[in-house]
Chains A and B, each alone.
Chain A
Amino acid sequence: MVSVDTLPRTRRGVRGARWREARIALLFVLPCLLLFLAFRFGPAVAGSVLAFTDYTIGADTNWVGMENLRRLSEDPLFWRALRTTLTIAVLAVPLSILSSLGMALLVRRAFRGSKLFRSIFFLPVITSLVLAGIVFTWIFSESGPWSSVMGWFGLPDQSWLSDTTLVIPAIVVVAVWSRFGFGMLILLARLQDIPRELEEAALADGAGAWHRFRYIILPELYPALFFLGIIETTFTFQIFDTVYVMTGGGPANSSYVLVYQLYDQAFRYFDFGYASAIGLALFVMTFIVAMIQRMTLGRER
């Protein structure tokens, strides 16, 4: 082995060294490859196949073709969960991005305490959504501080989480609270890249704060804002932890989201085939968002 290594000039030596390199490399990749085959590739294929079966625990599995998808298309609960998920996304994503943008603009210049503010705004991002859910359940409860605040505005004392309409805004508030710090950091990184001279020149030309923002800062931020929109949308499509902790999908299924239905079907009713069909629907949604991203980015280039 050693002689082959030290004499790479002969044709056999070169091939030997190549082969040795490939063997070692494959050995290094092997653990990851096995893990991926077992827990990513295999399940991704299996998940798509399961959607066309009636797989459950302790019974024979049959191929049912489009049956699960037909059931899904006729399941009012699925359409409701889809609508709720989309509603949360439509509300939470713009609100979260606007908050990110606002906070990023406020802390972008270094001043006394600017670092502290950034750290504070990022704190919810690293906090478990379960903890957030527990605290916010109390905040939105009937005797909680939120209903006191509503009381100041003459609104009735009521728990937002037990109202079929208000439960959605309550969940959106938690989603925005827990996510805006992430967007803030992404936008801050972009803001720091904008050359100062550009803004100073605009200022020298008499452009006010709004115009500097509108015509210099905002165009520079478009790609980052767009990217954030995609990330936050896919993130919101998968909302689960807060709903599980705060409402359990209620009241009267008004906060029942897609991943919650998937969880229910798979792990409460053990209808793995049907759950996989819901997973497939989620995949299609994520895929559409990703395609929109690719197409739009492609056009920009």
Chain B
Amino acid sequence: MTHHTASTTTPSTPGSSGTGARGGRRPRPYRALEPRRSAKIARGVLLFVAAAVTLFPFYAMVVLSFKPVGPVVLPDSLAPWGLSFEAYDRVIGANSLLRWTLNTFVYSAVSVVGVLFFSSLAGYAFAKKRFPGKEVMFWSFIAMLMVPYHITVVPVFILISNAQGVNTYWGLILPTLANAQAVFLMRQFIKSLPDELFEAATVDGCSEWRMYTSIVLPLIKPILATLGVFVFLWHWNDFLWPLIIGQSNDMRTLTTGLASMNAENVPLNVVLAGSVVAFVPIFMAYLIGQRYFKEGVTMSGIKG
């Protein structure tokens, strides 16, 4: 074992000379790292199995939602024929699915607009302005990332419930607008923009508000998109907070509504039809803007 350690440490320092000599003999050195044919086949098989396992729950969800409502029998129920819209008829007709979809949409969309607006304003000030207490304020925002959500959820609930905010949109949305991650990412992004862009506008006598709308906002479009997608996804899938605040049937979101259906012994096909309805908007958005999803989720994870 040990002699291998020695052999691998040597090339890391001179590097190019060794590769160059070998590269002369092999016209395309990059091919050298290409796996052999047998390895490629093994890789293909492994990936195919992993993909099948990953996708199976989605397949089951969709196929079972298109089956006539009734007991699920394997393996027939998983066959992609004998389809019907019965489950969709029932879930859209008898339940409050449309209302829940509307609630989820309001919760997600309003929160995205609010978070982006407030965090870009604050992020801009933190990145490019001088004012007393700036550092203390910014770092105490960031410190809030350390405090788990679950230590604040009880006091926030008490606050909202004392303000008669239970079962209201504002009670649902307002507390989620305090988003430390968003402020942090905005500030980092705007800080990386050259000062000259802002100074030129100041010399021109541009008002601060115009500066924000016509200079800052266009410049931060990339981060607005990434962060917007992430915040939307987070709210669309959020569960605990809507569960606590949206207690009446009319104020449920898709996640809490479907969980309640699932608990009430509604037939599986019907619950899954509802799940498909909840999943399709996110899936469509994912197909269109994959890059933003991946960026948003990994970026937020890094600072989570």
Report which A residues bind B (CB closer than 8 A): 2, 5-6, 18, 21-22, 24-26, 28-29, 31-33, 35-36, 38-44, 46-48, 50, 55, 103, 106-107, 109, 111, 113, 117, 119-139, 143-145, 148, 177, 181-182, 185-186, 189, 196-207, 209, 211-212, 215-216, 227, 231, 234, 237-238, 240-241, 244-245, 248, 259, 262-263, 266-267, 272, 275-276, 279-280, 282-283, 286-287, 290
Which of B32, B125, B183, B302 sits near A25, CB closer than 8 Å?
B125
- B46 touches A (CB below 8 Å): yes
Distance between Cα atoms of A110 and B164 in the complex (Å): 55
Distance between Cα atoms of A275 and B157 in the complex (Å): 12
Determine the residue in chain A with the shortest Cβ distance to B59: A135
Distance between Cα atoms of A244 and B12 in the complex (Å): 51
Inter-chain contact B51/A43, CB cutoff 8 Å: no
Inter-chain contact B47/A117, CB cutoff 8 Å: yes
Closest CB of chain B to A229's CB: distance in Å?
13
- B11 touches A (CB below 8 Å): yes
Determine the residue in chain B with the shortest Cβ distance to A2: B205
Given contacts A40-B178, A279-B151, contact A287 B146 (CB under 8 A): yes
- B41 touches A (CB below 8 Å): no
- Chain A residues in 8 Å Cβ range of B151: 43-44, 47-48, 276, 279-280, 282-283
Determine the residue in chain A with the shortest Cβ distance to B238: A128
Main secondary structure of the interface of B (DSSP, over half): helix
Interface string of B155-177 (1 = CB under 8 A from A): 11111000000000000001101
Distance between Cα atoms of A197 and B233 in the complex (Å): 39
Given contacts A131-B61, A134-B271, A134-B275, contact A25 B72 (CB under 8 A): no
- B22 touches A (CB below 8 Å): yes
Inter-chain contact A119/B290, CB cutoff 8 Å: yes
Given contacts A121-B54, A130-B255, A204-B22, contact A144 B74 (CB under 8 A): yes
Closest CB of chain B to A145's CB: distance in Å?
6
Inter-chain contact A206/B7, CB cutoff 8 Å: yes
Inter-chain contact A22/B129, CB cutoff 8 Å: yes
Inter-chain contact A139/B18, CB cutoff 8 Å: no
Given contacts A5-B205, A126-B233, A143-B73, contact A203 B47 (CB under 8 A): no
Inter-chain contact A131/B258, CB cutoff 8 Å: yes
Given contacts A36-B141, A126-B286, contact A138 B72 (CB under 8 A): yes
Closest CB of chain B to A197's CB: distance in Å?
5
- Chain A residues in 8 Å Cβ range of B158: 46, 55, 272
Determine the residue in chain A with the shortest Cβ distance to B5: A215
- B149 touches A (CB below 8 Å): yes
Distance between Cα atoms of A47 and B148 in the complex (Å): 11
Inter-chain contact A267/B159, CB cutoff 8 Å: no
- B85 touches A (CB below 8 Å): no
Inter-chain contact A22/B259, CB cutoff 8 Å: no
Q: Closest 8 A-B residue pairs measured CB to CB?
A: A201-B11, A25-B129, A43-B155, A22-B131, A46-B155, A43-B152, A32-B122, A35-B178
Given contacts A22-B131, A47-B154, A134-B275, contact A32 B183 (CB under 8 A): yes
Closest CB of chain B to A269's CB: distance in Å?
12
Inter-chain contact B33/A203, CB cutoff 8 Å: yes
Inter-chain contact A143/B72, CB cutoff 8 Å: yes
- Chain A residues in 8 Å Cβ range of B30: 196, 200
- B79 touches A (CB below 8 Å): no
Closest CB of chain A to B173's CB: distance in Å?
11
Inter-chain contact B155/A134, CB cutoff 8 Å: no
Inter-chain contact B43/A205, CB cutoff 8 Å: no
Inter-chain contact A286/B239, CB cutoff 8 Å: no
- Chain A residues in 8 Å Cβ range of B263: 248
- Chain B residues in 8 Å Cβ range of A280: 151
Which of B5, B11, B61, B154 sits near A198, CB closer than 8 Å?
B11
Which of B146, B177, B259 sits near A244, CB closer than 8 Å?
B259
Distance between Cα atoms of A139 and B268 in the complex (Å): 12
- Chain A residues in 8 Å Cβ range of B152: 39-40, 43-44, 47
Which of B154, B205, B279 sits near A127, CB closer than 8 Å?
B279
Inter-chain contact A148/B74, CB cutoff 8 Å: yes
Determine the residue in chain B with the shortest Cβ distance to A276: B154
Distance between Cα atoms of A292 and B242 in the complex (Å): 33
- Chain A residues in 8 Å Cβ range of B144: 36, 40-41, 44
Inter-chain contact B156/A128, CB cutoff 8 Å: no
Closest CB of chain A to B44's CB: distance in Å?
9
Which of B4, B47, B125, B279 sits near A106, CB closer than 8 Å?
B47
- Chain A residues in 8 Å Cβ range of B121: 28-29, 31-32
